[in-house]
Amino acid sequence: MVAINENYLKLKAGYLFPEIGRRVKAYAESHPDAAIIKLGIGDVTEPLPEACRSAMIKAVEEMGDRATFKGYGPEQGYGWLREAIAANDFQSRGCDIDASEIFVSDGGKCDTGNILDIFGNDNTIAVTDPVYPVYVDTNVMAGNTGEVSENGQYGGLRYLPITADNNFTVTLPEDKVDLIYLCFPNNPTGATASKADLKVWVDYARANDAIILFDAAYEAYITDDDIPHSIYEIEGARECAIEFRSFSKNAGFTGTRCACTVVPKSLKRKASDGTEVMLHQLWNRRQSTKFNGVSYIVQRGAEAVYSPEGKAQIKALIEFYLENAQIIRQQLSNAGIAVYGGIHAPYIWVKTPDGLSSWDFFDKLLNLCSVVGTPGSGFGAAGEGYFRISAFNSRANVEDAMARITSKFKA
Binding residues: 15, 42, 72, 109, 132, 187, 218, 246-248, 257, 292, 388
Burial of 305 (0-12, 13-18, 19+ CB in 10 A): buried
Burial of 105 (0-12, 13-18, 19+ CB in 10 A): buried
In angstroms, the CA 340 to CA 161 distance is 16
What Cα–Cα distance (Å) separates residue 34 from each residue in 30, 367, 391? 9, 10, 21
What residues are designated binding site for pyridoxal 5'-phosphate? 72, 132, 187, 218, 246-248, 257, 292
In angstroms, the CA 332 to CA 400 distance is 13
Closest CA to 249 of 181, 331, 341, 185: 185
In angstroms, the CA 381 to CA 379 distance is 7
In angstroms, the CA 165 to CA 189 distance is 13
In angstroms, the CA 385 to CA 357 distance is 5
In angstroms, the CA 42 to CA 7 distance is 27
Q: Hey, how many other C-beta atoms are within 10 angstroms of the C-beta on 149?
A: 10
Burial of 155 (0-12, 13-18, 19+ CB in 10 A): exposed
Written as one string, the DSSP assignment of 21-70 is HHHHHHHHHH-TT---EE--S----SPPPHHHHHHHHHHHHHHTSTTT--
First to last CA, the chain: 62
In angstroms, the CA 257 to CA 8 distance is 26
DSSP state of 97: -
Phi, psi (deg, nearest 5) at residue 331: -65, -40
What residues are designated binding site for substrate? 15, 42, 109, 132, 187, 292, 388
